[in-house]
Amino acid sequence: MASTSNTLLLLHSGLSHNQSPLLLRQISGTSLTFSPDRFLPPLSHPCRRTGVPVITCTAGTPVAANLAPGTPVRATSIMVIGATGTLGRQVVRRALDEGYDVRCLVRPRPAPADFLRDWGATVVNGDLTKPETIPATLVGVHTIIDCATGRPEEPIKTVDWEGKVALIQCAKAMGIQKYVFFSIHNCDKHPEVPLMEIKYCTEKYLQESGINHVVIRLCGFMQGLIGQYAVPILEEKSVWGTDAPTRIAYMDTQDIARLTFIAIRSENVNGKLLTFAGPRAWTTQEVITLCERLAGQDANVTTVPVSVLKFTRQLTRCFEWTNDVADRLAFSEILTSDTVFSVPMNETYELLGVDQKDILTLEKYLQDYFTNILKKLKDLKAQSKQSDFYI
C-alpha cells in the first residue's frame, strides 16, 4: 500500500491536469490499475461488521495544486458523473443554463445518452468500474460533481465503493480543484445498510484525501414519487406501500441542483457537510393520500408490513446469489424505526443565501404534475395502449 501511495504522490506532483490525455493514459495504465483487495480499505460486510472501518486515504498528503506551468483550468469547466440519473440530469441542465461547460462521464453503451448532447453537454465515455478509463476524461476539468450510484441490478460495491475510490484518487492525482459528492442523510447512523455505509465511507475517504470538497446529503427526490405512486394511481394499478412510520422530506431535484451550484461557488462552504431536505417530511401513507386527492381517484393500495420485508431480507441473505437483493432490501431495517429523514434547513438557507419560499413543496410539485398529466391524458385518450411485452 505504501508503494502505491508513493507512486500517486509522484504522479500528482509531476502532472498538471492539462497535459495530454495520451500521457495520462499511459501513466494510468501502469499505476492506476489496482486490485481492490490490495488497495481499498477493508469494507466490512454488514453482518460481519463491528464498528467503524478504519479508512485512510492512500492518495498522499495534500499538495498545492497546479505546481506545473500551463494554462489554468477555467472555473466554468465541470464534469458530472452520473449525468443520466434523476439528479444528474437536472444538475447538467442547471449547469448548462448557468453557462458552465459541462462534460458528462457516461458508460459506453449501444444507445448513447443523446439527450445530454442535445442540451449542449459534452459526453465522454468512461466507466467507474474500469479505473483506467477515468484519467483521460478528467483533463481540463475544474470541478467534479458526483451524482452517480450503481444501478439497482448491479452489485453495490463495484460502482459505489471501488469506482468512487478510484475516481477520488484520480481526481486527487490530477489536481481537480473541487469535488462535490452526493450522499444520503443519516448515512453515519445506519451502517447496517450497505449503500449508506458505502456512502459514509466515501465521505470519510473524501475528507481524508484532502481535495477541496463539498458533501451534500440528500433525503429523497420528489421525482421518484411519480413512478412509485403517481403513475400507478393514474393507471389504476395497485400501489405498494408499507405501514412504516418513517418520514422523508422529499425535495425537488431541480432545487437540489440550484442549491448545489450556489454551494459550489460560495467559498465558505468548502469542505463542509451540507444536508438538503425538503420543506416537510412525509410518510408513505401521506404521500399516497395526497396523490389520491390530486388525481381524483382512489388508489388500490397494497400494504406490505415491514416485518415481511425484513423476513425476506433475512431469507435472501442466506444465499449467495440473492445477496444483491438482500442489499437492496436493507433499507427495511431503517423503515422499522420511526426515523425522520429530515433536517431543519434554516441554517443552510442562510449559508447559501436562499429564500425558503423559493423551495418547491411536495403539494405544489404533485399538483403541477397531476394538472399537467391529466390535461395531457385527455389529449392522448384515443391513442393506442401498449403494455409490457414478455416473451
Site for other proteins in 63-82 (CB under 8 A): 74-76
Site for other proteins in 8-47 (CB under 8 A): none
Gap between the Cα atoms of 179 and 206, Å rounded: 9
Of positions 215, 309, 343, 366, contacts other proteins by CB under 8 A: 309
Give helix 86-97 / helix 253-265 axis angle, nearest 10°. Answer: 50
Q: Is 358 in the site for other proteins (CB under 8 A)?
A: yes
Contact call for residues 156 and 188 (beta carbons, < 8 A): no
Question: At closest approach, how far in Å is the CB of 200 from other proteins?
Answer: 14
Contact call for residues 334 and 194 (beta carbons, < 8 A): no
Q: Is 178 in the site for other proteins (CB under 8 A)?
A: no
Q: Is 373 in the site for other proteins (CB under 8 A)?
A: yes
Of positions 304, 340, 351, 354, contacts other proteins by CB under 8 A: 304
Burial class (CB in 10 A: 0-12, 13-18, 19+), 263: buried
Q: Contact region for other proteins (CB under 8 A) — 38-46, 129-137, 165-173, 219-227?
A: 219-227
Query: From residue 98, how far is each of 94, 101, 122, 147, 213 by CA, in Å?
Result: 6, 9, 16, 18, 21
DSSP calls for 10-32: HHHHH--TTS-HHHHHHHIIIII
Q: Contact region for other proteins (CB under 8 A) — 7-15, 127-135, 233-241, 275-283?
A: 233-241
Gap between the Cα atoms of 342 and 365, Å rounded: 18
Gap between the Cα atoms of 357 and 124, Å rounded: 37
Query: Can you tell me whether residue 77 is helix, strand or coil?
Result: strand
Gap between the Cα atoms of 204 and 196, Å rounded: 12
Nearer to other proteins, 93 or 204 (CB): 93
Q: Is 377 in the site for other proteins (CB under 8 A)?
A: yes
Q: Cell numbers at residue 43, please?
A: 469494507
Q: Contact region for other proteins (CB under 8 A) — 27-35, 127-135, 169-177, 381-389?
A: 381-389
Q: Contact region for other proteins (CB under 8 A) — 8-16, 25-33, 64-72, 97-105?
A: 97-105
Encoded amino acid at 348, one letter: T
Q: Is 241 in the site for other proteins (CB under 8 A)?
A: yes
Site for other proteins in 250-279 (CB under 8 A): 254, 261, 265
Of positions 5, 44, 177, 312, contacts other proteins by CB under 8 A: 312
Of positions 184, 214, 281, 362, contacts other proteins by CB under 8 A: 184
Per-residue binder mask for other proteins (CB under 8 A), 197-216, x = binder:
--------------------
Site for other proteins in 321-350 (CB under 8 A): 325, 328-332, 334-335, 341
Q: Is 119 in the site for other proteins (CB under 8 A)?
A: yes
Question: At closest approach, how far in Å is the CB of 150 from other proteins?
Answer: 9
Burial class (CB in 10 A: 0-12, 13-18, 19+), 66: middle
Of positions 27, 168, 206, 219, contacts other proteins by CB under 8 A: 219
Nearer to other proteins, 1 or 380 (CB): 380
Give helix 2-14 / helix 164-173 axis angle, nearest 10°. Answer: 50
Question: At closest approach, how far in Å is the CB of 250 from other proteins?
Answer: 10
Question: At closest approach, how far in Å is the CB of 346 from other proteins?
Answer: 21
- Beta carbons within 10 angstroms of residue 115's beta carbon: 14
Give helix 362-380 / helix 284-295 axis angle, nearest 10°. Answer: 40
